[in-house]
Chains A and B, each alone.
Chain A
Amino acid sequence: MSKKVITSLILILITITLLIIAQNNLDSFSLRILNLCGIYVIFAVSMNLINGFTGQLALGHAGFIAVGAYSYSLLVMDPQLKEMNFFLKPLIAPLNTVHWPFLPALILAGLMAALAGFLVGAPALRLRGDYLAIATLGFGEIIRIIFTNTQSITNGSLGLKGIPAPDKFLFFSMKNSLMWWVWIAAIITVIFHFLLIDSSYGRAFKAIREDEKAAQAMGIALFKHKVMAMVISSFFAGIGGALLASLIGTIDPLMFRFLLTFNILLIVVVGGMGSISGSIISAISITILMEVLRALDQGFMGLPALPGLRMVVFALLLMSVVLFYPKGLMGNEELSWNKLMNLLKKPLLLKEVKK
């Protein structure tokens, strides 16, 4: 076993131990934030694949998340619940009776999002740079507007309510099974992306990012690889969307405005375009920070309660990150065991040199 594998195993075990501790000690508010962290990790890492690693500025993520969230919700809600939700226009035929268990619905949600990713990516990825950004942004909005108008499938702007959360994790029924699903999905997403980036495909993605012409000259099929990155990215976006739907329990098309895409893009940029560990760190810290700063809204150290103050402070924090780390917290480097060790060793080495 290589050193790398051992370190990643250790990291996974640490995460799981922390989750067990969390499950037994945290209240439901903190658990909700923890789940949200996991979901944002999935969003950020998957968006980083197309934006950071392949270098294609695609801004349709919210659309794929919506596809995942809706596919999942329509599959797992029981027929009675659907009847209650669709009181204006009934749900169309095959969907109104289906009632799937959690895992198949989750996977199908990912696949539907991947399909949407393919349908959007195939035409849009022929464009480059700003044009790609505009086209994908447009497609993302189109997905949302379709969902608003297809009332007999998505319940339109009324949204869906009562989306059940899973009550079991694999075969074990427990109280916080959603937390386990979210974090196992997040861990799998992260491992998958690490393996993908290290494979020949990943190197091809990076080559495309660095210089498309040179990559093409080296025999990389540009279009194929771009579409592949897009499809994989939207698959995980769909999974994340499904988990988000079951965390909140209700969805409507307005949730998936381009603002959501920008929130995720913000996480990716703060973490570093092209750094998976950067995305993880920034997804978790930004999600937690937003909630910690809520204390500011409710009056703080003698200041009167002033709603919106936390957004001001949040913006200041973001600005300082961008000023001091122009390439994001991690740049395009990964957090590795060696680096951490070096960081620890440095002061020791310096001391030795001084002697």
Chain B
Amino acid sequence: MMFRKRNALILLVTFLILSLIVAGCGGNKKEEPKKEDTETSEVIKIGVFEPMTNANAAGGAMEVEGIQLANDLYPEVLGKKIKLVIADNKSDKVEAANAVTRLVEKEKVVAIIGSWGSSFSMAAGPIVKENKIPAVAASATNPLVTKGNDYYFRVCFIDPFQGKVMANYAFNQIGAKKAAIIKEVSNDYAVGLAKFFSDEFVKLTGDPKSIVANVDYQTNDQEFSAQLQAAAQANPDVIFAPGNFTESALIIKQAREQGIDIPIIGGDTWEAPEFLQIGGEAVEGAVFSTFFTSEVPITKESEKFLAEYRKKYNEEPSSVAALGYDAYLVIRAAIEKAGSTDPVKIRDEIAKTKDFVGAAGIITLDENGDAVKSAVIKKVENGKFVYQATVEPSK
């Protein structure tokens, strides 16, 4: 007993000593001269943080391809070479924060591109804000990425617009009066999209009960008959199923096997070769919205991008590659306009981006730093994604 009391006492004393030391050294911390003058250095560094390994490596790799192509085509600004510093975030939030801090502190980048996956971009948010380094996300669609953060921008449209586009499609083209939603609940993107779709759909139909069923599934689920039954029993005219391409393809396949022939529509994640492979014949006629099409060049820049991409990588570009390309161009243009490599000045120029001609459409950034741009609707026909229409943003 004595021993324990003494231990406690010692602990207390240590604690007191410790707080004294802390108090002593807390006040006199000097502000060290930070950041060497980047203007004099010979190269301009732009940091890229993307998932290059683990779960989301495929997405990250596509985005990096687009960014590298842009760097090949436009390697210079202000007479200096632009160097890309690529950091892997291992598809992990903690690593994403580490990677961005490293880019900012050690590599002294003037701007950052990334990342595929909104949650990684969100982890980088407070760091870029604190260090006043502008960041441009290529394909992160979660509204929280740019919300309340003056230093985060993106070149893709966000989920509210995409939800609106699909709701309009369902209402006008399919003529649906009732819709069911099957969403991947563990995916922030799908949850947001489902919400914005239903808001708009209710507004269009004027009927608060027009969403007749709203069911969830988890990432990596294989069996969807319960969800499909629930959705089909409500007798909707259309099923909106935002989610990962594998699960979505399985849903459509299982729906058709069960004899449910209600049209099923979705979002940009469906645009992946796996969607066609897994879905096979069942996904014929599936309609979704996306950022970009390689069939019809949207702008002059798209033509150049498409030609060069095919030449360099020998395959059709995905939309995230085009968005990565655009993110790089937006930053480069901002550096040029700012006439300096001061990150704060670059940030101000990025914020002013208006009618910028990118590969994936014309970009205007709104006050939140989100891009206002057109969406593309595609349909699966004969085992291919076929361009249907371009939807312009309405103010």
Contact = CB atoms under 8 A, between A and B. Distances in A.
Nearest to A25: B32
A161 B144 contact: yes
B87 interface: yes
B20 to A, nearest CB: 10
Contact of B94 (A36, A85, A149, A173): A36
Contacts of A294: 87-88, 99, 102
B7 interface: yes
Contacts of A87: 143-144, 147
Nearest to B3: A2
B186 A148 contact: yes
Interface in A71-107: 81, 84-85, 87-88
Given A161-B125, A174-B29, A244 B94 contact: yes
Contacts of B90: 311
Q: What's the interface size class on B, roughly?
A: 35 or more
B18 interface: yes
Interface string B83-110: 0011110101110011101101110000
B1 interface: no
A174 B218 CA distance: 43
Interface in B1-40: 6-7, 10-11, 14, 17-19, 21-23, 25-27, 29
Contacts of A32: 97-98, 101
Q: What's the interface size class on A, roughly?
A: 35 or more
Contacts of B191: 88, 151, 156-158
**Interface core residue of A87, A157, A308 (most chain B CB under 10 Å):** A157
Given A5-B10, A148-B185, A149-B216, A248 B97 contact: yes
Given A12-B14, A32-B98, A252 B93 contact: yes
Contacts of B101: 28-29, 32
A19 to B, nearest CB: 9
A170 interface: yes
A25 to B, nearest CB: 9
Interface string B278-304: 000000000000000000000000000
B195 A28 contact: no
Contacts of B216: 149
A162 interface: yes
B308 interface: no
A169 B187 contact: no
B225 interface: no
**CB-based closest 6 A-B pairs:** A307-B52, A29-B105, A174-B26, A308-B53, A249-B126, A307-B88
Interface of A: 1, 5, 9, 12-13, 16, 20, 23-24, 27-29, 32-33, 36, 81, 84-85, 87-88, 145, 148-149, 151, 156-159, 161-162, 169-170, 172-175, 180, 184, 191, 195, 244, 247-255, 291, 294, 297-298, 305, 307-308, 310-311
23 contacts: A1-B10, A5-B10, A16-B21, A24-B25, A28-B105, A32-B101, A84-B144, A87-B144, A88-B195, A145-B186, A159-B119, A161-B122, A161-B125, A162-B148, A169-B22, A172-B23, A174-B22, A175-B29, A249-B125, A250-B119, A294-B87, A305-B86, A308-B52
Interface of B: 6-7, 10-11, 14, 17-19, 21-23, 25-27, 29, 52-53, 85-88, 90, 92-94, 97-99, 101-102, 104-106, 119, 122-123, 125-126, 142-144, 147-148, 185-188, 190-192, 195, 216, 218
